[in-house]
Amino acid sequence: MLRQNLEELRGKALQAVRDARDAAALETIRVGFLGKKGELTAILKRMGSLSPDERPSVGAFANDVRAAVESALESASGRIAEKELERRLAEETVDVTLPGNPFRAGRRHPMQTVLDDVTKIFLGMGFSVAEGPEVETTYYCFDALNHSPDHPARDPQDTFYFDDETILRTQTSSVQIRVMEKEKPPIRIISPGRTYRKDEIDATHSAHFHQIEGLAVDKGITMADLKGALHTMMTGLYGSGVKLRFRPHHFPYTEPSAEVDLQCFACQGKGCRMCKDEGWIEMLGSGMVHPAVLERCGVDPDVYSGFAFGVGIERLTLMRYKINDMRLLYENDVRFLRQF
Ligand SMILES: [Zn+2]
C-alpha cells in the first residue's frame, strides 16, 4: 500500500518538475513533496503501520524516490536558469542606434583658468613652479621674512596658530625662503597656493584664499625687471591696454616695496563705482628682496639681488570676469560657474 503511494508520488512529482516553467514553480514543488509538511514526509510518517519485515525495503524505496525527485529538481533548475538567461539576452539587446543620454561636461573654475594663464605666462619667462607647505612655522612665515617680533601679522587675532611656532601660512612668501635655502641663484619661481587669515568673510575677504608668489634672484636684477614681469603678467591676463601704477609701500621683506595698482577698466582712470572713484584698483604687493632676507638664506646681497611679489588669485579673477563678490567663487554653484 505504502509502496504504491510512493510510486504514485514519484510519478506526480516528476511530471510536475517537467511542467515547471520557472524557479519559483520548482521551489513550490520541492516544498510540496519534500518539505517538512510535504507529501513524502506524510507518507513516511505512516511507516509505523508496516510490519518489521516490510520496513527496510519500503524505507529504501522511499529514499530512492526522494533522490529521484531531488535530482530531477536539480537538473530542471539548471535548464530553467539557462532558458532565463537566453530570454534576458534576447530581451535586453541594446539598440546601439538609439541616441545616448546627454552627459553634461563640467568646466574649469574661473580661478583655475586664471592660475593656469598666469603659470603659462611665467613659464614663458623662464620661471618654474615651486610648492611649499600650508602648515608652516613662524620662522618661514615671519622671522625669515624680516618681521619684527611684535609685527601685527603675528597677532593670534590675525593668524591661525596650532602652537607657538606652527601656523596656517598667512602668505605664500614662506616659499621664497624655502626655495632660497635649497637652491643657488639664478632663481626664478612662482608658487601658487592656499593661504589663511582670520578675516571675517565678506564680498572682498575670506579666511581662506589663494596667492601666487613670484621670486627672481640673480646678478643685476632691478626694479625694472619687476615692472617688466608684472606688466607681462597683467597684459597677458587683461590685454595690451593695461596701465600699472607702482605706489611706494612698506613690507618687512622687500626694500624698496611697492603696491601695484591697475588702472580701472570701467572708467579708464576717471573714477567710478567699481574703483570706488579712485580710478585705480589695488592688485598686489611687490618689491626688491630685502638684503637681510637674502643673507639669512645664504645668498650674498653684494653679488645678487632679486624681486618678489605676491598676488591674490581671487583678486585677479574678480577683475578678469568683472565679478563683484568673492564669495561667488567659493559657493560652487554650477549655474554661476557655467558662465565662464
Ligand atoms: Zn573706475
Report how far ligand 1's centroid is from the alpha carbon of 321 (Å).
15
CB 330 within 8 A of CB 206: yes
CB 280 within 8 A of CB 77: no
**Where does 223-286 have alpha helices with state H?**
223-238
Q: How far apart are CA 214 and CA 169, in angstroms?
A: 16
Q: How far apart are CA 178 and CA 332, in angstroms?
A: 33
Amino acid at position 172, single letter: T
Per-residue exposure over 304-324, b if at least 16 CB sit within 10 Å of its own CB, e if not: bbbbbbbbbbbbbbbbbeebe
Residue 21's pLDDT is what? 87
Q: How far apart are CA 287 and CA 258, in angstroms?
A: 5
What average pLDDT does the segment 156-184 reach?
93
C-alpha cell at 159: 593668524
CATH fold of the domain at 110-337: BirA Bifunctional Protein; domain 2 (3.30.930)
Report how far ligand 1's centroid is from the alpha carbon of 278 (Å).
7
What average pLDDT does the segment 3-23 reach?
88
Q: How far apart are CA 123 and CA 127, in angstroms?
A: 5
Report how far ligand 1's centroid is from the alpha carbon of 263 (Å).
8
Q: For the ranges 180-189, 204-213, 305-314, which has the lowest average pLDDT?
A: 204-213
Q: For strand 135-137 and strand 166-168, is the pairing parallel, antiparallel, or unpaired?
A: antiparallel
Predicted confidence (pLDDT) per residue in 82-99, tens digit = 988 998 888 888 888 888
Residue 202's pLDDT is what? 85
Predicted confidence (pLDDT) per residue in 246-277, tens digit = 999 999 999 999 999 999 888 889 998 878 89
Q: How far apart are CA 1 and CA 46, in angstroms?
A: 11
Report how far ligand 1's centroid is from the alpha carbon of 112 (Å).
26
Give the predicted TM-score (pTM) of the model: 0.69
Q: For the ranges 13-22, 118-127, 283-292, which has the lowest average pLDDT?
A: 13-22
Q: Which of 172, 258, 255, 247 is nearest to 215 (CA)?
A: 172
Report how far ligand 1's centroid is from the alpha carbon of 307 (Å).
29
What average pLDDT does the segment 284-300 reach?
96
Domain-wise residue ranges, the chain: 2-91, 110-337
> What residues have their beta carbon closer than 5 A to ion ligand 1?
264, 266-267, 272, 274-275
Residue 299's pLDDT is what? 96
Report how far ligand 1's centroid is from the alpha carbon of 229 (Å).
24
